[in-house]
Amino acid sequence: MFQLEKLHCTIDDYEYFDGISYTFSGGTLHTVSGHSGSGKSLFFSILAGVKSPNSGDIFFKEKSIFNSSFRTLQDLRKKFGIVFQLPALISNLSLRDNLKLTLRSEAEVLAIARDFQLEPYLNLRPSAISQGQLYRFALCRALLPNPEILLWDEPMINIDEFFHPLVDQKIAQLKARGSTIIFFTNRKTIVEKYGENRLILQARKLDRYEF
């Protein structure tokens, strides 16, 4: 269970979130939308643990994301898969070594690289491949640990349509294992296709999204 508790966040005297509380259940997929200025990107960063709220907390398996020991936090982070809007790969490592940061075996790295037609590029560095390939590598890195929480900013937007059925299969497998998946998007087609639980940031709150 992934639980938000009374999140408040103010930046430069502008209040983005006023006590947001919400529980994301396991085995579910949620979409989070929000108009310009609603703080959608900020909300993603907070859920990913990249930024901290002014007050409130996030709990995963009853352990705090923001108020735990370093070791506990490291253990929690291993259970997260995060796909940023820009592929955050380490430029001075080979793509193989980027994937191995997930601490998965060579066989697992090779298997997912083959799935996404990336095996020929494993020994290259990120600067040597196309943007589309970079996004596929970033997605592979997020999927490799079989994360219990998957956060994806602007899903599918840079993934070739040819790979969409494969991505759908991977997402279905995660859900079947009880993982929580959260897509951050304003694209209506994505919300309609994947949003079994549709949420929107508006008026500093997180509400159900009906359209």
Res. 188: pLDDT tops 90: yes
Model confidence pLDDT, tens digit, residues 29-86: 999 999 988 999 999 999 998 999 999 999 998 999 998 888 888 888 889 999 999 8
Stretch 100-124: mean pLDDT, rounded? Answer: 96
Going by pLDDT thresholds of 50, 70 and 90, the confidence category of residue 184 is very high
Q: How far is CA 1 from CA 58, 60, 170, 179, in A?
A: 10, 6, 20, 9
Res. 136: pLDDT tops 80: yes
128-143 in b/e form (b: 16+ CB < 10 A) is ebeeebbbbbbbbbbb
Distance of CA 110 to the CA centre of its chain: 22
CATH ID of 2-208, from 3.40.50.300, 3.30.1130.10, 1.10.10.410, 2.40.70.10: 3.40.50.300
Q: Tell me the DSSP string of 40-81.
A: HHHHHHHHTTSS--SEEEEEETTEESSSS-HHHHHHHHTTEE
- Is the Cβ–Cβ distance between 141 and 101 less than 8 Å? yes
- Is the Cβ–Cβ distance between 193 and 162 less than 8 Å? no
Q: What is the pLDDT of residue 51?
A: 93
Q: Tell me, what amino acid is at 152?
A: W
Place of tokens 């549709």: 198
- What average pLDDT is seen over the chain? 94
Q: What is the pLDDT of residue 211?
A: 60
Going by pLDDT thresholds of 50, 70 and 90, the confidence category of residue 2 is very high
Stretch 128-156: mean pLDDT, rounded? Answer: 96
Is pTM, for the whole model, over 0.85? yes
Place of tokens 């690289």: 113
Q: CA-to-CA distance for 146 and 16, rounded, in angstroms?
A: 32
Helical packing angle, 131-143 and 164-176, nearest 10°: 10
Res. 142: pLDDT tops 70: yes
As given in the structure block, the two tokens for residue 88 are 């955050």
Q: What is the pLDDT of residue 210?
A: 74
Percentage of the chain modeled with pLDDT above 70: 100
Res. 111: pLDDT tops 80: yes
Res. 5: pLDDT tops 90: yes
Element (H, E) at 135: helix 131-143
Q: Where are the domains of the chain?
A: 2-208
3-state helix, strand, coil in the chain (%, to 5): 35, 30, 35
